[in-house]
Copies of this chain bind each other. A is one copy, B any other.
Amino acid sequence: MANAPSQRTRVQRNPSRGAYDRETIDAILDEALVAHLGFAVDDQPYVIPTLHARIDDTVYIHGSAASRAIRTLSAGVAACLTVTLIDGLVLARSAFHHSMNYRSVVVLGDARPVSEPAELLSVLEAFTTRLVPGRWSEVRPPNAKELKATRLLAMNLDEASAKLREGPPVDDEEDYELDVWAGVLPLGLVAGEPSPDPRLGAGIDPSPSVARLHQALNTSNSPEADGAYGASIRR
């Protein structure tokens, strides 16, 4: 499952940080909650945060946050979708070698609008399920009017690459003598207590999907905890 990197997707700076296998690419895409979609209008690039979901070889972008993107990209211009996970602050003995541990994916290509109702529905389910596994069957499904109002774009993963940094700081050899603490401060996204809608009816507890997700992402988890998003807290 390896893409050969194209000239455009090959990581040029720090090439050892590049990865082109779909297993790595898919895992990063699937863990990231937000994507940044780039497109140009009249030579001005725009970068818009948007929700995304991957199904097999396609990454879908939710258009509700990016109607300018939808209009532009439906005409078939080139796009770039980038996701980035922050894993830690890299604290070196010199200011210069401070860095960040991260995992990112860049996808290049055209984006096609999704209009077929069955594809729309399956993608909407994927959006919900990848954010909150199990939620889809708990809530009211989309009706015809909502499906009609939904705008989705699709990009395939033919031209994608990952770039990541992990591990401890890399200092200049002579700086290892310095009496300065160095290492990594791991960072990751965690969940707080579910906050009920003020209009929630009496006696309705968090549904199983919400309780499970909160448990998986609980702030009381140790930073080594592995889980949907917790995996991004690494050492």
Number of interface residues of A (CB under 8 A): 107
A196 to B196, CA, bound (A): 40
Q: Are A86 and B34 in contact (CB-based, < 8 A)?
A: yes
Q: Are A94 and B140 in contact (CB-based, < 8 A)?
A: yes
A95 to B222, CA, bound (A): 31
Q: Are A93 and B140 in contact (CB-based, < 8 A)?
A: yes
Chain B residues with CB below 8 A from A88, complex form: 195
Is the CB of A113 closer than 8 A to any CB of chain B? no
Most buried by B among A45, A47, A98, A217: A47
| Residues 121-157 (chain A) with a chain B CB within 8 angstroms | 124-125, 127-128, 131-132, 135-136, 138-143, 146, 150
Is the CB of A58 closer than 8 A to any CB of chain B? no
A51 to B94, CA, bound (A): 17
A-B contact pairs, 21 of them (CB 8 A): A36-B36, A36-B82, A44-B78, A45-B78, A88-B195, A89-B213, A91-B210, A93-B139, A95-B142, A96-B146, A98-B128, A168-B198, A181-B200, A181-B204, A181-B205, A185-B192, A185-B194, A185-B217, A186-B191, A187-B192, A188-B192
The 4 closest A-B pairs by CB, nearest first: A192-B223, A38-B47, A186-B192, A47-B82
